[in-house]
Structure 1
Amino acid sequence: MKYFKFLIAVCFIGLLFSCGGDDDICESGEGTPRMKVSFKNFETGKEKTLDSLYVAVDYGSGKVQLGKQTAITSRVIPLRVDDSPYTDVYFRVSDKGTESKIRINYTTKSTYVSPGCGVKKTYENLNSVLDPTTTTPVKSIEAGQNFIENEDKTNLYLLF
């Protein structure tokens, strides 16, 4: 009977210490937001649906392919989270087609969120520049909201 009471006491104490908050999962949108890019027609300026879009991003160690999406009107793209003041993003509309390079310049601000989420970066003073040597398939760009706090507002419009 002594061992049974000891076992119950150990289980009860273990249960008390194992109960904790859900701060080990960062699922309520508290993480670093991504940049939202939407598409417009170059001639009319109206929103456009792209049949396919391939995106690649240079995170400092070479291009990383983010894959293909079809029939889209917008796309969210993660930016660099190191201390670099810019991120290079590459867009193309076909698998082997030409790509347009856009450099996104910004300043970052770090905010501590929780032990599970860690530090959240917000991007301010966004300024995008289309590489003048690659004007296909993206013909021009148009600025949207110039800071990224969440993924609700469009930060950049690509004109095709």
Structure 2
Amino acid sequence: MTSTTPTPTAEENWLRLDRQICFSLHAASRAFNGVYRVILKDLGLTYPQYLVMLVLWEQDNLPVKKLGEHLRLDSGTLSPLLKRLEAAGLVRRERSARDERSVEVRLTEEGAALRERALQVPRRILAATGFEFDEIRELRERLDQLTGALDSAALEETPGCS
């Protein structure tokens, strides 16, 4: 019978920083943010603002709540982003005519036109990674799987959820 329990020495190595997937993801995220900062400067957007615009370029006129769901952001984080985008003339926020409690976000003409200039962003990011398109697609799919697994694990750990 083979033991699956690691030896104490191997187990201690689990706590090395360079063995932590969370740190690798964190470091990659910070590196991406640095590259995006440079590329998005030409568009006058921050990375979080770019994400908001991506969603709105796909589906304009969304309630703030739905936009937050797409981006995995709460309204407290999303509201300041939307205020800055509105001040820049890229989006407009309006109370819903159907539900006064809901605020809808829509692109302005300037915000919609910015999409054309943004088309170069993914190509520049791809070039910065040094990866081929298929490698990026596979990595994204694996990260999506990882996110799903972690979301499920978090739900299992939440009291009252099963």
Larger fraction in strand: 1
Please, what TM-score do these two structures have when normalized by structure 1? 0.24
Larger Rg: 1
Larger RCO (alpha carbons 8 Å, 6+ apart): 1
Larger fraction in helix: 2
